[in-house]
Structures are given as C-alpha cells and as structure tokens.
Structure 1
C-alpha cells in the first residue's frame, strides 16, 4: 500500500475533476469577509483566485495559482518527523489498531450471541404458538419486539464486518506522506493535491496576500514540534518531543 493510492481515492471516493476544475476551490475562504475563494482562467492558461464577493465588495486582489502552490508547499514544509520517531509512530499505530481489532472481535462475539439467543426465543415462541401453549395475539406481540431486537443485532454485525482493516497501512502511509509532502506537492495531480490538503489542513483563509491554515490532528503535533516557536518545549533525550510521545506506546 502506498500513499498515492490513498490520495487517488482507494479508501474514499476520488475527486473527479473536469477541464474546468481548479486545485484550491472549496479549500479556502476569504480572510476579509469569509466568502469562498473562487478561480478563473485568464488569457486561456493563467489561473487566478479571488474572493467571490458574495456578501459585498472585498479588497482582496487576485492571486495566481502558482503562488498558492508555493504557499501551500510552505505550510506542508512545517511538518517534521525524523526516521526513528516515524518508526515508533508506525509501531504505535499498529498496536493501537490491534487493540481496536481485538475489541471489535469481542463486540462481534457478544452481538452474535445475542442475535442467536433472540432467534432461539423466536423459534421456541413459534413452537408454543403451533402447539397451542400461547395465543396468536401473544405470539405476534412478543415476536415483533424480539424480531426488532434481532434485526438490530444483524445491523450491528454488518457494520462491524464492514470496518476496514487496512487503516494501519493507510495511517502509516499518510504519516510518511506528511513528513515529505512539501517535496512532492507541486507535482501531484489535481485530485491528489486536493485530497492531500484536505487530509492535512483545515480552516484555510487568504487575506492581504497571506495564506493562513490550521493543521488537522494528529498532523498539528508534527507542525508544532517542527515549526519555529511552535510550542517552545525542547525535545527530550533521544530526540523525542513531549508532544510526540502522545503517539507512542506506553
């Protein structure tokens, strides 16, 4: 499993752009008025972004897409993670997922046992009805409740069975992508570029020629540790920052 498959939408629906799709529409709002930043093509080839001015006139000027490419790459450059910590994070992700799978299996066993118990009660109640030990009215009233409970168990089992076990590889690949994202960002295709930014960043605004973003969890930990002034706490012995230890197994 590699990160390009994730960015291309193996885990979720891919963003299918057309010839008029733009990389950053839907990802930014204007920092002046909160309206969406929209894009248009000038002279048949240059892509410019500007405030949609949906609410009112806005002072924010146009900005070229190439400039935004550099700005978003600069944001991704704030992510820092050395090889040793990356390996430890991978171990933590695997151990955390193993615990989740074990808990899910325990939940599946309990729900299946409850579904079997309800089905047995329904079968017994039906025999009681056939042999005249209970009335049809009593059977129908009680059976309706038990069937609803059994159907709820079946839905729970279907939901638990549909949980993806490949999130371990996906998670590790995405963390690996985060630490090298700025190197390959500008060469990503449009749909992958949008997916990458949606994975890592949120609350992107543009005002006075400056891009402001917020890193999603857990990438905010990497950004805070790697950025100048991003936390102020020095790393502990062994190169681990206290915030990074939240990712690691006890």
Structure 2
C-alpha cells in the first residue's frame, strides 16, 4: 500500500516542543519504512487545523479524488494533527473513506489505525481523541485572542464607541473614548425617565427623539430597539459586557450603577406584567424536527395531564402529523442510554486508552509551558540588563521606558498563555473522566432526574433528533458513538485479539 504523509503545525509553541515539522516527518517516514509503505506524497505546512479554510489540507482530498482506484495509507503524527474540530467536513470525509475501505488513516503517535475492521473500542479511542483535542484547542487562545483579552482586562474597549460616546485619536496617535457632549446628557436622561416607571420603550423613544437624541454621525432618529439596547448596556455605568463576561473599563461613566440597577428592576417588572409563558417542563421541547417536512415537533397537554408531541405542520402539507406520548419518546431514548454501560473489562480498556491520551496531552502541555517559561525568564533577565544600561548611561530614560513597556506587554501575554495551557490540561482530564462517568450512569441518571435534567443529559449525549411516524431517530455524539457501537456488536474483549494491542 502506498502512503501519503501529512505534517502540520499551527503555533510557535508546537515548533519548539517536539512537534515541529521536521520532527513529525522523521517519525512518519520511519513508520512508513517500518510498515513498508512507499511514500508517494508528503504534505507539510504551517496552518491551523481549527480554521474553516485550510487550503493546504484540501490538497490531500483533491489528491485522493484524482486517484480513485488506488488505496492509500494517509499518515498523521497524532489525531490533533488531523483536526481539532470534530465538526470539520474534512474529518467526516476522510473517516467515511476509511470506513468504505478506500483509504486507511494512520495516527502514528496515538497507535491508532482507522479501517472498517477496527473495534468499537478503537472507534471510541478515535472519537475521544477528536473530542478532547477540540476541547483542548478551545481552551488555548491564539495570540490575537489573548491580545484582545489583555486589552479587556486593561479596561480598553475594542471598536466603535456606543451612542453617547465618541472615538478620538490623541496627540501620540493612541486611541481613546470620551463622552460625546452633544449626546451624553441625553443618554443619562433616557435612564432617568425610564427609571421613573412612567414610560414604555416606545413612549420613551418618542420622547428622546423630541429631545434631539439622534444617531452619530448620520443624525437619524433612534428607534425603539435602540432604547432597549441602551437601557440594558452596563457600559454606561463603567462595565463592558463581552460574550457574557463583565470587565470594568477605564472611560468616564455617564450614569451611576444605582440608576442602572433601578432601570433593570423596572424592565424586569414590566416583563413580568406583560410576558406570559408556559412553565410546563417539556423534556423534548425544541429538540425534535419532523423527518417529513423539517418543522419542529411541538408539545401539548391533553386532558390537563397527558403530554403529546406532534409536527407543527407549518407548511400545511406534511403527511407525518402523528401524535405521540412523551412517555413513548422517553422509552425510546432511555433504551439507547442503557447501551452506554459497558462490561468491566471493556471499561478498563477505555480507561487505559484515556490514560495514554492524557499522558500524551500532558507531555505536550508541559513542553509548551517549559518553552513559555524560558521566554518569560529571558524577558525578566532583560529588565535587569536594561536597568544597568540606563544607570551606566548606555541608553536614555525614554528608550528604557519604551523597552520596559514593550516587555511588560510580552510578559503579560506569556503569563496568560501559561495560565491557558495549565487550565486546558486540567480541563482535558476532567472532561475525559466526566465522559466515562456519565456513560456508565446515563440510564440511571436519566430515569431518576427531573425533566430539565433529562433535557440536558440528552443534549449532551445525542444529536439530530427527528420524528418519523412514531419512531424517534437520533445519533450519539462523539465519543459516545464508540461505546454504543461496542454494545450493539456484542463483542467481548477476548474476541478482539490484536485489535486492542498497540500498533507496531
């Protein structure tokens, strides 16, 4: 069988931590030589396996398409060199080719080969590698994200200022945000009027338009939705909200926190009076779609106590408008959860695999942290050298201050990276343990839990719910797919022989 080698890196840390392109190529070439695979193509590049656009990676798929009659061993160093995104279509494409016996996927350092004949335990191994690689990748921010995070921690807002403020450029070309004197008093008045409890959003919009509150720089009058956005924005009292997190900012507040909180109380009270919703705990609400027309399956209560689900038939031409009791849906999902509980021998195999995976990721993490700490030491050594140079008159105070400011920024960035890696390593272990723990207790947890907890558990383990007649269709998420398949095949460890042994 001919071999295609792929080696890639995405960060400087990987280049310096034993995952460099040359290091990967040496391991992969030695592996192919040992397996007697003639190497016909080598793809080696520096880009992220987590980006949607991966032109170099796509060349591999194009190469395979151009040789449809040949079977190749596509060799990677590790699963995370393959992709850190389990939803990447390239992952699905290559995996499907392997399941169709058109290629083999070889992961050298993970001791894993993906073929149609692999055991369910090895499929779990592959799935857990992909899932945890994504988790690890999510936890480690790239340089741009860390720089953005640092600016937020410093109280700096990135982007266009909110209404009532304006962006300016200072004499040293640095950017700043200051109150817009033509509008800041009107923003404060907006909060004061709404806090009185005498205004609805629409009425307040008309009032502020009459007072002259307009958009900047267009001068267009504000609309009702803008009033709501303004009243719910904590930036005006001194805090930035970014992706649900709050950061104190360094700019001048336009209102007090007391006034902001009072406005939120008025909004909440107004919503309670005017917004009515059902509090019935429907387990499958919003989860299931009709297999026939794609519309949502909606719940209804009949005779005051029986919960039925049916297609909304929004299009008006669905032929799958059947009614099914919630108990029937529960029974169908519960039976699949039973299959997650493995025999003790199988559980030990999966634990062994997880230990190997975690040890490899921990080693990777420790090497990266060591590299970052060496960089941090060099910067801190530079402080002392620069200080001595300033005392000796070899550099001016201005140059010294400039150098110190640059080093401080780099030092903070490195500290953030070290912290990110440490948290990622800890989360990696917690996540893998959590997956095994939930898989073995899933059925018992589901049966004994409250409706809201049942919904959370099903969404954690399953995906793509569809109702076809009265049959509920769904799929297990990675890595639970491997566990379920193992149970369905009925295999036992003694029947798997060499499939569970490390690959030479």
Output the CA distance in 1 between the equivalents of 2:442 and 2:462. Answer: 12
Q: Deviations over 1:149-201 (max 9, x none)?
A: 22210111221232364764663463354356345533322243223222321
Query: Which of these residues, 82, 90, 100, is aligned with residue 343 of structure 2?
Result: 82
How many angstroms apart in 2 are the aligned matches of 1:21 and 1:203?
21
Distance in 2 of aligned mates of 1:100 and 1:81: 25
Q: CA separation in 2, counterparts of 1:114 and 1:213? A: 49
Q: Pick one of 28, 45, 51 that aligns with 2:311.
A: 51
**Structure with bigger RCO (C-alpha 8 Å, 6+ apart):** 1
Deviations 1:15-43 (Å, cap 9, x if unpaired)? xxx94332222432232333333333333
Q: 1:20 aligns with which of 280, 299, 308?
A: 280
Query: TM-score normalized by structure 2?
Result: 0.39
Aligned to 2:475: 214
Give TM-score, length-normalised by structure 1. 0.72
CA distance in 2, matches of 1:28, 1:242: 41
Name which of 316, 319, 334 aligns with 1:73. Answer: 334
Q: Deviations over 1:108-133 (max 9, x none)?
A: 22212211211221343244345432
What secondary structure is seen at the aligned counterpart in 2 of 1:239?
helix
The alpha-carbon distance between structure 1 residues 150 and 167, as it changes in their structure 2 partners (threshold 3 A), is: closer
User: What's the CA shift for 1:86?
Assistant: 0.9
Go from structure 1 to structure 2 and tell me whether the alpha carbon gap of 1:167 and 1:150 turns closer, same or farther (over 3 Å shift).
closer
- Decide whether the 8 Å contact of 2:281 with 2:452 is kept in 1: no
- Structure 1: where are the runs of 5+ without partners? 1-17, 229-233
Q: Write the mapping of 1:97-116 to structure 2, written as runs, cut at 5 A.
A: 97-116=358-377
Q: Which residue of the partner structure matches residue 322 of structure 2?
A: 61
CA pair 179-237 structure 1, distance change in 2 beyond 3 A = closer
CA shift for structure 1 position 87: 1.3
Unaligned runs of at least 5 residues, structure 2: 1-277
CA contact (8 A) 1:129 1:139 kept: yes
User: Could you say if the C-alpha distance between residues 136 and 29 of structure 1 is closer, same or farther in structure 2, counting changes exceeding 3 Å?
Assistant: farther
Q: Is the 8 A contact 2:337 2:443 kept in 1?
A: yes
Q: Determine the C-alpha separation between the residues in 1 that align with 2:440 and 2:496.
A: 15
Q: CA RMSD in A?
A: 3.3
Cα distance between partner residues in 1 of 2:403 and 2:357: 42
Superposed displacement of residue 84, structure 1: 0.7
1:240 aligns with 2:501: no
Alpha-carbon shift at residue 238 of structure 1 (Å): 0.8
CA distance in 1, matches of 2:308, 2:417: 49
Deviation at 1:85, TM superposition (A): 1.3
